[in-house]
Amino acid sequence: MNNKMSPSVSPRFFSEKEVSKHCTKDSCWVLLGTRVYDVTGFLRMHPGGEALILRRSGKDVSREIEGPPHRHSENARRWMEQYYIGELDKDSIDEDTETLRQRKKIPESTTEEEEEETSAINKCSKVNEETDLVDWRKPLAWQVGYLGEKYDTWVHQPVDRPIRLFENDFFEANTKTSWYMVPIVWMPLVIYLSWYCYSFLAQERTRLFITSDYSILVHKYSFPFIFVLGMFLWSFMEYCIHRFVFHMRPPAHNYYLITLHFLLHGQHHKSPFDGSRLVFPPSLAAIVIGAFYLILRQLFPEGLGISLFVGGLCGYVVYDMIHYYLHYGSPRKDSYLYGLKAYHVKHHFEHQRAGFGITTTFWDYPFNTVIPEQTF
């Protein structure tokens, strides 16, 4: 049952006892002051993992929202408002709770503290289809170009809902891809080309010319190293595409560039947990992959060029799988992917002009786009 409220409906009131019962993966509620939120659907998406929310289910999370260790961004607060379902009935607070508070001498919030809490809540805003800058009942692809200078702010205020891009069902279907289609389409090619390259290099006919008179034989045993180098080259391409193409700033007066940006990447920032648009459709990816192949074939001998290409292609598959996992996976705390997930979520919700690395943060360092550590 969907308990989420529309802005025009009067809030429902819940007793403290009723809220405390919702403390499982199947039904998880939290409080922010006296506001009640059903965050069941957000458990898997939370960058800190499900356990962090479940441990606080049925309780007030105001301190966790403000930090430390992490102060949640305005976008995160706005996002949370999508799960608002009602208010806590203050008259229902158990007498036992009040007695315990008195025994422990826990002070009530002062007026100043209450004002600060109210101020923080008021910064949150619900997604309202009636007042939003676009008409969510219609496809968005041809609307966003008219937002002009408001586009950049609008597109970086994420929502938890699917986006319809095109009216035509065929075009719409071709913008969506299940995550498993990426390895199904590309890994057979990776395996085949790996075998082909190793066999080709085994013929010992591939030489890399340093000068017109001096060349080096590319041995078959060098294939694993060339393969890894190809993956490393892809990580650089991944950074460049994400930063300079996906995060270009289209001119406010250019309808077509705004539309292009939204189709390429803006829709992902607007709806970052739309599972059908977290990986590239193979038909579109083939254009970039084909260009990558042609460039390497022109620059290097066949055996070396294709070996680099297949490593890069494998790097792309790893990139798409990691990107999907960073949005929907629950990595173990303190693991590499746990850090990457937190880093990537910060990119979506708070630092859209930094943190462009997906599979690695390596390239963010030399290009000075590392997301800064939060201090208190």
DSSP assignments along 265-309, one per residue = IIHHHHSTT-GGGSS--HHHHHHHHHHHHHHHHHHS-HHHHHHHH
CA 208, CA 120: separation in Å to the nearest integer?
62
Three-state DSSP class for 151? helix
Antiparallel, parallel or unpaired: β 12-14 and 84-88 = parallel
Q: Which residues contact 200 (CB under 8 A, 6 or more apart)?
A: 206, 302, 303, 306
Antiparallel, parallel or unpaired: β 27-32 and 84-88 = unpaired
Contact 284, 199 (CB under 8 A): no
pLDDT at 112: 43
pLDDT at 179: 95
Q: Which residue is associated with the tokens 């650089």? A: 236
Task: Consult the annotation and say whether 242 binds a ligand.
Answer: yes
Task: Consult the annotation and say whether 261 binds a ligand.
Answer: no
Task: Consult the annotation and say whether 327 binds a ligand.
Answer: yes
DSSP 60-76: B-HHHHH-SS-PPPHHH
Q: Which amino acid is at 306?
A: I
CA 321, CA 325: separation in Å to the nearest integer?
6
pLDDT at 34: 82
Task: Consult the annotation and say whether 156 binds a ligand.
Answer: no
Question: Is the peptide bond between 139 and the residue preceding it cis, with omega within 30 degrees of 0?
Answer: no
Q: How many CB atoms lie within 10 A of CB 109?
A: 12
DSSP 368: T
DSSP 263: I
Question: 376, 342, 372: which is closest to 52 by C-alpha?
Answer: 342
**What is the largest distance, in Å, between two alpha-carbon atoms of the chain?**
91
Read off the pTM. Answer: 0.74
Q: What is the dihedral of CA 299, 302, 307, 310, to 10 degrees?
A: 90
pLDDT at 119: 37
How big is the CA angle at 157 (ends 330 and 325), to the nearest 5 degrees?
20
Contact 280, 317 (CB under 8 A): no
Q: How do the pLDDT tens digits run along the chain, 376 residues long? A: 455 555 555 678 888 888 888 888 888 888 888 888 888 877 776 766 677 778 788 888 888 777 666 677 776 777 777 788 888 887 665 554 554 455 444 444 444 444 433 333 333 344 566 678 999 999 999 999 999 999 999 999 888 888 999 999 999 999 999 999 999 999 999 999 999 999 999 998 888 888 888 888 888 999 999 999 999 999 999 999 999 999 999 999 999 999 999 999 999 999 998 989 999 999 989 998 999 999 999 999 999 999 999 999 999 999 999 999 999 888 888 899 999 998 998 899 889 999 999 999 999 999 999 998 865 4
Task: Consult the annotation and say whether 265 binds a ligand.
Answer: yes
